[in-house]
Structure 1
Amino acid sequence: MYKHILIPTDGSEISAKAVEQAIALAKLTGAALSALSVKEPFPYSAISEMQPTPPQEFYDAQERIASARVKSVVDGAAAAGVKCTATTVEALHPWEAICDHAKANGCDLIVMASHGRRGVAALLLGSETQKVLTHTATPVLVVK
């Protein structure tokens, strides 16, 4: 059925639910998993003489956070006997990185959390999940 499942994670509680579902589905279908965490780019527009965080320190912190997120997925997958690779990427728009990663790596399913944004925020901002649904040709399983 599925051979390669992409599970993007932002480390949130709802994202953890999506990870659980992705691992269970991968185990059931014999699919491999790809864990992806998207890092924020350094806000260069904020550079001034009084920069509170040096760029390298910012990059290092982003990498530590993203690596911990995907390591959690890899560890959970290993405990379930599921093959899992981990990737961290820097992107201004996480949805683009998710769509690109799925396409470039031949993923045949993306499992994502729905962040349940409501009201005006949903209308104005949308969610990364909604943007992935809109822009990818890969099937998407949304976990609430």
Structure 2
Amino acid sequence: MLKIGRILCPTDFSDFSERAYQYALTLARHYKAELFLLHVVRPVMIGYPEYAIPDSVNEFYGELREYAEEQLREFAKAHAEGGVQAVVAVEEGVVTESVLDFARENSVDMIVMGTHGRRGFQRLTLGSVTEKVLRKAGCPVLAVRQPAHDFVGPESGGEPVYLRRILLCSDFSECSERALQYALSLATEFGGELSLLHVLEHLPSDVQFEGEKARVIHLLEGEVPEKERSCCKIKAFVRSGKPYEEIIKLAEENQTDLIIVGVRGRNALDLALFGSTTHRVLQLGPCPVLAIHA
């Protein structure tokens, strides 16, 4: 079993963060983990700051903080279940940095956040806070966006976590290798099926794809350590096309409960790759997405 001792769930009291909290609460109950419920009070732009009275500004922020703490306590009380009592916290500052700082300072093992899927122009700002945290966090981040397919909830038949089909997207990089270890641990723990997927891009013909397919499947299967091949059912898939489209297609075909992706570092190229694939999987995927850092 994975060792998850501390889970952080940031909230802005929206429906999206409420669903994410349900996941955080259920996982905390399963792993007997400490659960933090965090709200960040963002700085307010004050007109004519040179005329602002410091005591009045401090009083304003104090009242804002007290109100947020009261809302958090009521939120936690309304959603309490299974003996899990969340530790509520309010921070002031930029949301992304506050979440990352809190996670680091409190040695959090997993962050669970809500996001939302939008199309058209609005997709450019989709869940911007969640995505920034997902890229920069030092621990795994689970992104939940009112998916078509859940792995917690009443449909689980009494089990707190119903994780039966996991999809791992691999590009044979170091971050994919770490994500594979995490995926194997989850599949073994919950008796689930693990699908390994690699997508070949820019192939000029079907003939070339068929020639590559057997080789890549062999590579995918070789990624799994010998001692772990009997711990869970493993299937290898190779597709040709745009990575995010093939990831989503396979997830829908297999009724996947969880998509796992490895996330690289923080340089410009890494962020571009994140934007082109993981971003769209977050938007359009049928289930929650778990990001694992190298």
Structure 1-normalised TM-score? 0.82
Write the distance in 1 (CA, Å) between the matches of 2:133 and 2:11. Answer: 13
1:131 aligned residue = 132
Distance 1:125 1:7, change over 3 A: closer
2:44 paired with 1:42: yes
1:15 aligned residue = 17
2:115 paired with 1:114: yes
Write the distance in 2 (CA, Å) between the matches of 1:10 and 1:31. Answer: 22
1:81 aligned residue = 83
Shift of residue 25 of structure 1?
Answer: 1.1
Write the distance in 1 (CA, Å) between the matches of 2:32 and 2:52. Answer: 52
Q: Which segments of 5 or more consecutive residues in structure 2 lack a partner in the other structure? A: 146-294
Q: Which segments of 5 or more consecutive residues in structure 1 lack a partner in the other structure? A: none
Deviates more, 1:58-67 or 1:5-14: 58-67
Distance 1:29 1:50, change over 3 A: closer
SS in 1 for 2:9: strand
Shift of residue 95 of structure 1?
Answer: 1.0
SS in 2 for 1:44: coil
Distance 1:40 1:105, change over 3 A: same
Alignment partner for residue 26 of structure 1, among 3, 28, 32? 28
Distance 1:104 1:59, change over 3 A: same
Write the distance in 2 (CA, Å) between the matches of 1:96 and 1:24. Answer: 26
Write the distance in 1 (CA, Å) between the matches of 2:126 and 2:140. Answer: 22
2:96 aligned residue = 95
Q: Contact (CA 8 Å) 2:40, 2:92: kept in 1 or not?
A: yes
Write the distance in 1 (CA, Å) between the matches of 2:99 and 2:52. Answer: 34
The number of aligned residues is 141
Distance 1:29 1:119, change over 3 A: same
SS in 1 for 2:87: strand
Write the distance in 2 (CA, Å) between the matches of 1:101 and 1:61. Answer: 22
Distance 1:57 1:100, change over 3 A: same
- Deviation string 1:16-60 (CA, Å, 9 cap, x unpaired) is 111111111111111110111000223235537699xx5345314
Q: Contact (CA 8 Å) 2:115, 2:127: kept in 1 or not?
A: no
Shift of residue 126 of structure 1?
Answer: 5.7
Q: Contact (CA 8 Å) 2:118, 2:126: kept in 1 or not?
A: no
Deviates more, 1:21-30 or 1:113-122: 113-122
Write the distance in 2 (CA, Å) between the matches of 1:19 and 1:126. Answer: 16
SS in 1 for 2:90: strand
Write the distance in 2 (CA, Å) between the matches of 1:102 and 1:109. Answer: 8
Amino-acid identity (%): 35
Structure 2-normalised TM-score? 0.43
